[in-house]
Structure formats: C-alpha cells, structure tokens
Amino acid sequence: MKLISAASAVLLAYLVWGSRGWPLIHDAPLMHYIAWLIEQGAVPYRDAFDMNLPGVYLLHLAVLRVGGAGDWAWRLFDLGWLAATCGLLLAYCHRISHGWAAVSAALLFALYHLSGGAWHAGQRDFLLCLFLLLGAWGVARGTEQASSVALGWGGLALGAAMTLKPHAALYWVLCAAIAARDRSWAISGWRAASLVIVAGLLVPGAVFGWLAWRGGLGPFLEILGGYVIPLYSRVGHVSPWQAIAWHSFGRWVAGLFLILTALALLAPPPREPARKGLALVGALYGLVHFVVQGKGWEYQLYPLILFCCALAPAAVASWRAVGWSRVRAVRSRWRYGPSW
C-alpha cells in the first residue's frame, strides 16, 4: 500500500506540473462571461440566456474578483479546489481506516481529476463534490459526537451543493433520512432530520433571494419551464453503458470502482459505520446523478467517483481481512501440499 501510494503521489506531481498550462476552455469561459455580465450590472437569465443554477455564476464571479479572468487564476482555483476536496476526503476516510488507505482515497480522486484534461477543470459536477462530502462529513460527525451543530453545517453544505446542481437535493434528503434513523441522538430522530432539512434550505434561500432582488427569478423560471424541462432535458440521451464506453479506458475505470464498492460492502464494520454508510448511499446517489442527466458526459461521473474513492479504505480493510488470508492459504497449499 505504501509503495502504491508513493508511486501515485509521483504520478500526481507529474500531472499537476503538466496541467500548469491548461487554458480556460469548454464551459468555464461561458460561466466567466455571465459572471462578468453580472459584475457589469446585467441580470442573469434576463440578459444572458443559460440553464445553469445561479450558484455557479456566483462562484465564477468570486474567481473573477479575486484572481481576474486569466488562465492562471482559473488554474490556481481548480487546483486549490482539488486540494481542498482531497484534504476533506482524507479527513473523512481517516475514521474508516487509518494510514495509507485514507491517503490512497485522496490520491485516487486527484488522479482521476487531473487525468481528465483541461475540460474537467472547474466543471460544476467537480465543484459539487466538495459540498457533498462536507455535508456527509457533517452528518457523520453529528452521529459520532451527537452534535446538532455538525448536523447544521452539514446541511448548509448540502444546501450550497443544490445551488450548483439540483440533483444534489436527492443526497440532501438521503442524509436527512440517515440522521433520522440514528439512535445516538439526545434529541428525537425527526428533529435531527429537521436540522439537516432546515439548514439545507438556507443557502438556496439566500441565493434565490438575491436572484429575485436582481429581477432574475421570473426569467429563471421561464427558462426552466419553457426550455430546460421540455426540451434540453430530452436532447442527446444515451445509455449509461454506451456513455462509459465512449471514453478511453472507461470500462476499465468503471470496473475498478465497481470492485472497490463490492469490496467495501464485504468489509468488516469500521469504527464509525456512519461514514461508510453515507459513502455507500453517496455512491448510489452518484449513479442516479449520472443516469438521470442522460447526456453521458464524463464529468457528470464526479459524485459517483468521489464516493467510490471514499469507500476505498473500506475496500482495503476488506482485502486485508479476507483477501490476504486466502492468498496465504493458497501459498501454503502450494508449498506444503494438501493436507489429508
């Protein structure tokens, strides 16, 4: 495990260095342009036709105001967001399995992101991962410490995720259901779930309140009801298997993460089972997130990949508990012959 992690770290350093010249391409310039229009006084959805949620524009607006519109600012933002997500993944996985297994989860996610190329930089589904994992961590810490504060900031993070992609609402509801079923609370389960639900409404309420104040809520609803749902959502649908087959090594990567998830299911119970459970539910959500959108774009796999990486330590624990014992048994049979 140490050798694999060390080799992965060297490969990651190589990819980071190679990505330093990535330009601002694909969807990011469009989001930058709308953010620039907002800074000039324009109203989103009224003065610029687009179907993304307003939280995306606000993030791009923050990048423009802090770092400017150049390629380097966007590159630093993407790498910083990746570092924050990987650091959070390491902290999340540390309670599932100590040591290099948690490190491997963070390295695996970073390698996936950087191997995808410049068009993955700052994609909405990638940005979504930080908030999803932060929300899962909040619910997990709330379970571990019986802390309503942790549930609150977990719900806030999940609410922020919903301002980037509406599909995150499914994971928000699932996290609330997990909080409701936990028996370690000093308060009742429905109150624990209510904390996640109410906290999750605050950030979307603030963002859409800002949009209404700017005069863009009406045009947003018109685009949603007149374009996104009846037309855009039905264009270019492909099957999930066909979508994965499009990409180089897509089936191999899918097989790897399927094996990780299967091993995680067979793993012995960790010290903090809530984290493994939230990751398993997150992987299920990530699959729905990809299938429901139906476009087959590779970056829409990010939530699924994130939670499969979070399951990597449990998969390692499963292999240690089962795999190595079987390997040793086979080696013994070959060395000493069968016992009669």
**143 and 179 in contact (C-beta within 8 Å)?**
yes
Residue 336: the pLDDT is 45
Distance between CA atoms of residues 149 and 151, nearest Å: 5
Amino acid 184: pLDDT:
55
Q: State the average pLDDT over residues 31-59.
A: 96
| H/E element, 280 | helix 273-293
Q: Looking at residue 98, what is its pLDDT?
A: 60
Which of the 8 DSSP states describes residue 270? -
Residue 335 has pLDDT above 60, yes or no: no
Q: How far apart are CA 335 and CA 209, in angstroms?
A: 72
C-alpha distances out from residue 98 to 27, 91, 217, 266, 269, Å: 38, 10, 47, 18, 14
Cα first-last separation, the chain: 36
User: What is the per-residue pLDDT for 54?
Assistant: 97
Percent of the chain with pLDDT over 90: 57
pLDDT at 2 over 60: yes
| Residue 331 in this model has a pLDDT that exceeds 90 | no
**Looking at residue 268, what is its pLDDT?**
64
pLDDT at 247 over 80: no
- pLDDT category at 137 given cuts 50, 70, 90 is very high
Closest of 179, 120, 117 to residue 150, by C-alpha:
179
More confident residue, 268 or 71: 71
337: left (phi over 0), alpha (psi -120 to 50) or beta: left
User: What average pLDDT score do residues 45-57 get?
Assistant: 95
pLDDT at 257: 79
Instruction: Out of 174-178, 272-276, 288-292, 325-329, pick the least confident.
Output: 325-329
Stronger pLDDT, 119 or 1, i.e. the higher one: 119
